[in-house]
Structure 1
Amino acid sequence: MTRFSLRTRLVAVVVAVTVFALAAGGAATWLSLRAYLYNRLDTQLHEMAKARQHFFDDRVTPDGGILVDLTDPRFLAPGGADGNGGQQTILEPDGDIIAQLAVVYSKYPSADVLLTLTDEDAKKLATHTHTTFSMTSAGGQDIRVESRPLSNGMVVAIAFPTKNIDNTLTQLVLVELAVSGAAVLAALGLGTYGVRVGLQPLTRVRRTAHEIAENLKRHGSGLERRVPPSDPRTEVGQLTEAVNTMLSEAQAAYAQRVENEDRMRRFLADASHELRTPLTSLRGYAELERLRAATIGAEDPAATQDALRRIETEGDRMARLVDDLLLLARTDQGSAAPQLGPVAVDELLDEAADRAGAAHPNRPFVVDTPNTGLVLVGDREALLQVLGNLLRNAAIHTPGPRPIRLGARPDGSSVLLLVADEGPGMTPEQAAHAFERFWRADSGRTRATGGSGLGLAIVHALVTAQHGAVGMSSDVATGTTVLVRMPGLVDDRGRLVHQPAPDAYSQHYPDYGRTP
């Protein structure tokens, strides 16, 4: 059955149920009518047998005879079963037949048709009086018979034929067959039409799925298609809704996949570009030294030292780039899981400022909130790398000796870390891409200010891995403030552990910028 289509199976079920219902109804009707007709016939037979018993008892003589000519049909009174012929039989106590008379129960009796009993049935009637039997006469006619004992020991048996009942039941069967056949054909036609109409939404689902698959195969598009909605109260409507939801999820996943592939292509292209530049420099300086060494009298120790210094610089730059790429790859794969624990914010800011000051001795790095007493939950080394990248990025893009400020603030159950510079900021459009990999506001890839475009991407990856968030507020005129939100250490009541000094906070961050 499973190899047939759903439509065929549904129509088959409708037809099968119709056939069963018609068969059950027809059988019940036939049985009910048969019981009614036979009960009516048996009632008439019972009344007639009782009347004949009294008739003959009134005519019994003292010597056991009967004052009626048993061969004369006129002793049978008119009446009977709607004009159907009947039979009256007088039997000896041992079952021998004395007289058999056929009549038509109309106005005048008649003896045109003679019905006979077999000896076996006659003996049965003689010994089982007051009981109605279905028998077949000696002439092959089906009859209903009842016998009654007479006062002289004889037995009177009255029989009615069942031919008319059988004909009526046969006609009923023929009518039921004709009506049932028409009903089955109607059920087949209406069921086919109804199933086709009811399954139209499924047909639309199938058609839409094929069209989407074809478009994806040919053009890589089509997931924006949707199945026309149906009544959500029906199973088909619920299926349509589920399919449309699945298509929406598939569209989003496909778009994300395309975006990831595009990002990966850009990533590989940018990484290749960034690696090719120091490799080209390394090869150029190596080639220069090889030519200088091969030329007699061209030795220049100072030039050689300068070339080696440049080779070392480019090697360090390439190593940092490779390290940054490896760090991002491990973060994406989740293999560089941070070691989370309580971190004292004041110590964290002081150490980050000291490291940045050592790398940029001509740049002031100011901790505006030295005594906050805040404690956050994070990886201390990862957070130092985050602050180091932010401070280095700010130092590169801030001209002159302008200070770069660090600070911290409580915010609910979180701790905000802030790094602010006074250099040229970015437009809102540029700031929206600041944390993307290999993105730089300098789209021409000039390295007048240095950098590979991975610093802020690493910041975002490390902060996200520690269940934090990072955001930026930038203005072209006033500079840039980067805000890092980290989970704070809370007590048993869920309150942030915080014991600041009275002068812990300065007023350099009045609006916090754009809180991540």
Structure 2
Amino acid sequence: MDLTVRSGRRRGTSPSGTGLGRRSLRVRLVLFVSVTLVAVCAVMALSTVLVQRVYLLGDLDQRVTDAAERSQGGLQRRTGGATDLGFLNERGQPAGTLAARFADGEIIAAEVVTEDGRQRVLTAAQRAALGGITADGSLHTRTVPGLGTYRVTALGGDGVPVLAGLPMADVQQVIDRLVVVEAVIAGIGLATAACASAVVIRRQLRPLGRVAATAAEVARVPLDRGEVAVLARVAARDTDPGTEAGQVGVVLNQLIDHVESSLAERRRTEERMRRFLADASHELRTPLASIAGYAEYMNGGSRTITPELAWQRVSAQSARMIGLVEDLLLLARLDEGRPLRRTEVNLAALVAEAVWDAQVAGAEHAWRLALRLDGPVTVVADAVRLHQVVANLLANARVHTPAGTEVTVVVESPDASRCVIRVRDDGPGIPPGLLPSIFERFTRADGSRSRTRGEEGGTGLGLAIAAALTEAHGGRIDVRSEPGLTEFSVTLPTAGQAGAAPSPQL
């Protein structure tokens, strides 16, 4: 795995960028809360003013209608002429009350009650402002020059036509005072709410600030070089999943865990690669050194080694080097995930052929084959590569156990979905310390398990190839060992559980 983590700050950022970001967030939140409160207060104030205005206007309209009715009743009781407005002298008429008489739709007399309780005749311009009002009882708003805005109505019908009006100054004054009071209250409330919001938001953002500080600390660690110590983590108090900041802290800790595990895996991979390259170089250097040495003997005309023997040794070492290179190439192809050439293979026949070949190569061992099958079992596999898996396991048992060891190969099918190949021997067993790495490349047993050295001992790639090929077939390989019993088991899916579509050759 190639994991490259670059450290350092991006251009245009600074260590204080996180603090600026938090301050900007706080400012935006306070502004948002303030604007929201302003909008709410404005809507409430406007609603209050409108409702109050409607109520006050309704009350004023009722008083205007009452005044018009009283005026009409007063005229009916009086004996004056068509321009008589003497009813305005009656008690109870408030200052500013306006009254007028009609004749053929025109105002022929109009007076207003002054502050001292007397009547003043309206001017022509003032009477003109009252023109066009029909005596149907509807309410009108008119601005009378010199007197202000009035709410007026005219009554006719069976009575004496009369117009009456009351000033709107009191209503407007109440509304203006209400607006001022609400504005002051809203201002005080907004200032208080803004201060409280700032304090609350600052307190709520403190965990986010600590999370950001942890992220900045991790970002300063040079992850692309050297050994990386344990990275900082977000404190437990800032990882409460019930809060937004806590969720960020939890996710950041998960990210840091993933980075640490990836770095650790990278180190392990690099270490395995270095060890692999060192082992491969050593394995290749040994036959090359032998070939070079025998070539020098041949060129120097050594009498201790005949040319025929030298050629034999050169051929043997060349074959060993070719086999090693082919094994390495096979493992490299398997690592790349190249597909196998899959066909339906009779598992029992394939294992039997491998056991016969092993019996010929290791006649000093006792070989047993047990087929525990109810019928033919087929697997979708590359026959050549699957034969190589069984052959490598048998060769491992032959090479690493003494003469006379009994090797038993069992083929069984526990259920219809899988089949198992077991290779058992009653040899000395595998050292416990070697079991965890038995399928790693260039792993070799110590003297208690190894019978021979050098060429016969192999290169330590046989079990690694067997494991890689088994995984490529969708199966798994396991091992258990103790003195007197070592068993390798290969589990494969049967033909009904794996696709049989042909694929390119590995």
TM-score class normalised by the smaller sequence: 0.7 to 0.9
- The aligned residue for residue 504 of structure 1 is none
- The aligned residue for residue 12 of structure 2 is none
Structure 1: gaps (5+ residues): 294-298, 492-516
Deviates more, 1:459-468 or 1:217-226: 217-226
Q: Residue type of the partner of 1:102?
A: V
Report 1:386-397 matches (<5 A).
Answer: 386-397=389-400
- The aligned residue for residue 452 of structure 1 is 459
Q: Residue type of the partner of 2:490?
A: V
Q: TM-score, normalised by structure 2?
A: 0.81
- The aligned residue for residue 260 of structure 1 is 269
1:223 and 1:102 map into 2 onto residues whose CA distance is 90
What CA RMSD, in Å, does the superposition of the two structures yield over aligned residues? 3.4
Q: 1:213–1:287: structure 2 CA closer, same or farther, 3 Å change rule?
A: farther
SS in structure 2 opposite 1:407? strand
Shift in Å, 1:240: 4.2
Q: Deviations over 1:29-81 (max 9, x none)?
A: 111111111111111111111011111121136xx557x6x5x687322254x
1:435 and 1:55 map into 2 onto residues whose CA distance is 121
Of 191, 196, 221, which aligns to 1:215? 221
Of 423, 440, 444, which aligns to 1:440? 444
Q: Deviations over 1:127-160 (max 9, x none)?
A: 445232222222152222223349897x533222
1:309 and 1:179 map into 2 onto residues whose CA distance is 108
SS in structure 2 opposite 1:467? coil
1:467 paired with 2:474, answer: yes
Are the aligned partners of 1:131 and 1:147 in contact in 2 as well (CA < 8 Å)? yes
Q: Deviations over 1:482-514 (max 9, x none)?
A: 1112223569xxxxxxxxxxxxxxxxxxxxxxx
Larger RCO (CA within 8 A; separation ≥ 6): 2
Of 315, 318, 326, which aligns to 1:315? 318
Q: 1:85–1:119: structure 2 CA closer, same or farther, 3 Å change rule?
A: closer
Are the aligned partners of 2:88 and 2:119 in contact in 1 as well (CA < 8 Å)? no
Are the aligned partners of 1:88 and 1:158 in contact in 2 as well (CA < 8 Å)? yes
1:232 and 1:45 map into 2 onto residues whose CA distance is 66
Deviates more, 1:129-138 or 1:114-123: 114-123
1:342 paired with 2:345, answer: yes
1:369 and 1:131 map into 2 onto residues whose CA distance is 112
- The aligned residue for residue 77 of structure 1 is 91
Q: Deviations over 1:155-199 (max 9, x none)?
A: 533222222221111111112222222233334333333333444
Q: Residue type of the partner of 1:31?
A: L
1:17 and 1:274 map into 2 onto residues whose CA distance is 76
2:204 and 2:346 map into 1 onto residues whose CA distance is 65
Of 162, 165, 172, which aligns to 1:159? 165
Q: 1:26–1:306: structure 2 CA closer, same or farther, 3 Å change rule?
A: same
1:420 paired with 2:424, answer: yes
Structure 2: gaps (5+ residues): 1-20, 498-506
Report 1:288-303 matches (<5 A).
Answer: 288-290=297-299, 292-293=300-301, 300=303, 302-303=305-306
Are the aligned partners of 1:215 and 1:222 in contact in 2 as well (CA < 8 Å)? no
SS in structure 2 opposite 1:411? strand
Are the aligned partners of 2:111 and 2:119 in contact in 1 as well (CA < 8 Å)? no
1:38 and 1:438 map into 2 onto residues whose CA distance is 101
Of 80, 99, 102, which aligns to 1:88? 99
Are the aligned partners of 2:239 and 2:248 in contact in 1 as well (CA < 8 Å)? no
Q: 1:443–1:235: structure 2 CA closer, same or farther, 3 Å change rule?
A: farther
- The higher radius of gyration belongs to 1
- The aligned residue for residue 151 of structure 2 is 144
Deviates more, 1:348-357 or 1:208-217: 208-217
- The aligned residue for residue 113 of structure 2 is 102
- The aligned residue for residue 381 of structure 1 is 384
Q: Deviations over 1:456-503 (max 9, x none)?
A: 11111111111111111211x314221112223569xxxxxxxxxxxx
1:285 paired with 2:294, answer: yes
SS in structure 1 opposite 2:109? strand
1:269 paired with 2:281, answer: no
Q: 1:135–1:371: structure 2 CA closer, same or farther, 3 Å change rule?
A: closer
Shift in Å, 1:201: 4.3
Q: 1:95–1:348: structure 2 CA closer, same or farther, 3 Å change rule?
A: same
Report 1:93-132 matches (<5 A).
Answer: 93=104, 95-103=106-114, 110-111=117-118, 118-125=126-133, 127-128=134-135, 130-132=137-139
1:75 and 1:370 map into 2 onto residues whose CA distance is 130
- The aligned residue for residue 505 of structure 1 is none
